[in-house]
């Protein structure tokens, strides 16, 4: 898992100057990204004792693949408490107090299988049970479990052969991509980036990253004036979009953090949605 906090700090002065995020949200993201790094280290230490069943073909993880032991349940409960604290500290407008007394292990089980199956219905039930907004619960669950899945992904990633998997779902966890990158140095290859476990995988250039449509006439992209670094690839078959970072020839792909780029390109989401596109 990349150290998002460092990338975010480096990008902060420019982003503030350009007014990319509300001024009071930078400290929240710094705390959130530091949280990811700290939890990633904590979960990595648990991985050897965790029972993970790998599917014979990608995605490597399927619903039921991850069995929580006592240690993992305790670590996840601690992770949830820390995250609820961060959200409470920064006036995010979210009220998650009900999660403080909730049985973390139960929510973890529901959320893990909801993400692995991409079926969010069980989380919707949990949200009304705790009187939390559905979007808020998904946001919290995603950020809570992201370092946990990233720790698992780090150990199983090598099972996936990059040139045998050209699907829009993550080959490790099956979840949706949140960003793409095109690397000039890598012969213009496109990679998708998992919104959950942060695995990156190769994906065809001329193919919708949501519905797999390959009809070039229905594919296009939106650009922002004066911004050659980003574009939004859109599909008129499914009306989906994905934000893309174009990495120039002399820049290493590792010098770009797509999780941070996703946060700092909120304006592109607004532009795409205004034109009638949405993302899963």
What residues have CB less than 8 Å from 222, skipping those under 6 apart?
A: 231, 232, 234, 241, 268, 271, 272, 275
Q: Shortest CA distance to 133 belongs to which of 89, 81, 87?
A: 87
Q: Among 238, 262, 266, 269, which residue sits at the site for Zn ion (rule: CB under 5 A)?
A: 238
Q: Among 141, 170, 192, 272, which residue sits at the site for Zn ion (rule: CB under 5 A)?
A: 170
* Closest CB to Zn ion among residues 183, 199: 199
Place of tokens 């969010």: 120
Yes or no: say if 126 and 140 are a contact pair by the CB < 8 Å rule.
no
Q: Which stretch binds Zn ion (CB under 5 A): 66-74, 92-100, 139-147, 173-181?
A: 173-181
- Encode burial over 94-108: b for 16+ CB neighbours within 10 A, e otherwise: bebeebeebebbebb
d(CA 149, CA 171): 13
Q: Among 25, 155, 237, 262, which residue sits at the site for Zn ion (rule: CB under 5 A)?
A: 237
* Closest CB to Zn ion among residues 102, 123: 123
Least distance in Å: CB of 249 to Zn ion?
28
Residue 169 as a binder of Zn ion (CB under 5 A): the answer is no
Least distance in Å: CB of 240 to Zn ion?
5
Residue 173 as a binder of Zn ion (CB under 5 A): the answer is yes
- List the interface residues with Zn ion, window 86-125 (CB under 5 A): none
The span from the first CA to the last CA of the chain, in angstroms, equals: 23
Residue 210 as a binder of Zn ion (CB under 5 A): the answer is yes
Q: Which stretch binds Zn ion (CB under 5 A): 7-15, 127-135, 140-148, 168-176?
A: 168-176
Least distance in Å: CB of 181 to Zn ion?
15
Residue 199 as a binder of Zn ion (CB under 5 A): the answer is yes
d(CA 168, CA 179): 11
Distances (CA, A) of 178 to 127, 196, 199, 210: 23, 9, 11, 10
Dig out the tokens for 76 from the structure: 């996840």
Instruction: Specify the DSSP element, H or E, that contains 165.
Output: none
Q: Which stretch binds Zn ion (CB under 5 A): 126-134, 160-168, 177-185, 228-236?
A: 228-236
Least distance in Å: CB of 96 to Zn ion?
24
Residue 66 as a binder of Zn ion (CB under 5 A): the answer is no
Backbone phi and psi for residue 38, each to the nearest 5 degrees, phi listed first? -65, -45
- List the interface residues with Zn ion, window 128-167 (CB under 5 A): none
Yes or no: say if 244 and 182 are a contact pair by the CB < 8 Å rule.
yes
Q: Among 68, 75, 172, 247, which residue sits at the site for Zn ion (rule: CB under 5 A)?
A: 172
* Closest CB to Zn ion among residues 114, 235: 235
Binding-site ranges for Zn ion (CB under 5 A): 170, 172-173, 175, 194, 196-197, 199, 208, 210-211, 213, 235, 237-238, 240
């Amino acid at each position: 898992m990349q150290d998002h906090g460092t990338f975010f700090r480096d990008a902060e002065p420019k982003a503030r100057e350009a007014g990319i995020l509300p001024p009071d949200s930078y400290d929240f993201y710094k705390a959130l990204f530091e949280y990811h790094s700290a939890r990633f280290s904590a979960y990595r230490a648990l991985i050897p004792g965790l029972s993970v069943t790998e599917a014979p073909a990608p995605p490597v993880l399927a619903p039921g693949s991850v069995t929580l032991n006592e240690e993992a349940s305790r670590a996840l409960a601690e992770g949830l408490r820390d995250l609820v604290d961060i959200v409470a500290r920064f006036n995010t407008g979210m009220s998650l107090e009900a999660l403080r007394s909730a049985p973390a292990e139960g929510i973890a089980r529901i959320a893990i299988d909801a993400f692995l199956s991409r079926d969010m219905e069980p989380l919707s039930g949990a949200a009304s049970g705790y009187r939390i907004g559905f979007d808020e619960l998904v946001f919290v669950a995603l950020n809570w479990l992201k370092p946990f899945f990233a720790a698992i992904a780090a150990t199983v990633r090598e099972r996936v052969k990059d040139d045998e998997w050209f699907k829009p779902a993550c080959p490790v966890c099956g979840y949706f991509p949140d960003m793409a990158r095109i690397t000039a140095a890598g012969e213009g290859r496109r990679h998708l980036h998992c919104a959950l476990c942060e695995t990156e995988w190769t994906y065809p250039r001329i193919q919708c990253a949501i519905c797999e449509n390959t009809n070039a006439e229905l594919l296009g992209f939106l650009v922002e004036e004066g911004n050659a670094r980003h574009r939004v690839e859109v599909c008129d078959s499914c009306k989906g979009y994905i934000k893309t970072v174009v990495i120039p020839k002399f820049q290493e792909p590792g010098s770009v953090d797509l999780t941070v780029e996703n946060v700092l390109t909120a304006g592109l989401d607004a532009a795409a949605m205004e034109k009638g596109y949405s993302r899963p």
